[in-house]
Chains A and B, each alone.
Chain A
Amino acid sequence: AQSVAQPEDQVNVAEGNPLTVKCTYSVSGNPYLFWYVQYPNRGLQFLLKYITGDNLVKGSYGFEAEFNKSQTSFHLKKPSALVSDSALYFCAVRDISGGYNKLIFGAGTRLAVHP
């Protein structure tokens, strides 16, 4: 079965510093990976996805993610964190069991960016 793991419940970063939110995956076949962000009292917003091609994927709000096949990881990164980046971040992997597309989400990582 497809799965993702987010090993950190919370990540704390000072504003202006680089940030990394970790995600590892377990899939059979090619991995299709996604990152979403959830701000307080809001639904999830799509940030970026990896389907194929370049291992470094660029997304919304200055975020990027690096696909690493040998380490089965898809970590989310940003060179310089903003206080407004504070939110809940979810990694997800496509699952096509049953013959149709669905997403399997990780438990989420809370990012806190301090001034």
Chain B
Amino acid sequence: ETGVTQTPRHLVMGMTNKKSLKCEQHLGHNAMYWYKQSAKKPLELMFVYNFKEQTENNSVPSRFSPECPNSSHLFLHLHTLQPEDSALYLCASSPQSGSAYNEQFFGPGTRLTVL
């Protein structure tokens, strides 16, 4: 893979559960991202962190709560989700959010199923 790891790879949860997704990057990057990938829809940017500060919250429902304790780790805390939240959640990192030239490096994703 590309130096970005995500755990767990698969998660099944009920609507009343609380769970967390974890992302770790080993590339020395300063920006980290959460995306949602649903079938037959474009990737949806959810959150952006730049030097541990949240710089984007793309109208994401409050049942998704991100946390970025340092530039290498990113979490997505989940609670009271809905079945329509079932999707592949992708984490990405890049050298610096403000640079125009830097591509993003993606993790393998967490396949989430909400029952």
Contact = CB atoms under 8 A, between A and B. Distances in A.
Interface of A: 32, 34, 36, 41-46, 49, 51, 90, 94, 96, 98-108
A105 B43 contact: yes
B48 A102 contact: yes
Contacts of A100: 48, 50, 55-56, 97-98
A58 B25 CA distance: 27
Interface centre among A45, A96, A99, A100 (most CB of B within 10 A): A100
B41 A101 contact: no
Interface in B38-52: 40-43, 45, 48, 50
Interface stretch (B68-76, B79-87, B105-113): B105-113
A98 B100 contact: no
B21 interface: no
Interface residues of B, number: 32
A98 B40 contact: no
Contacts of A107: 40-42
B4 A43 contact: yes
Contacts of B97: 100-102
Given A94-B100, A101-B100, A45 B2 contact: yes
Interface centre among B42, B90, B100, B109 (most CB of A within 10 A): B42
A32 B108 CA distance: 25
A46 B104 contact: yes
Nearest to A36: B106
Contact of B45 (A43, A49, A90, A102): A102
B106 A43 contact: yes
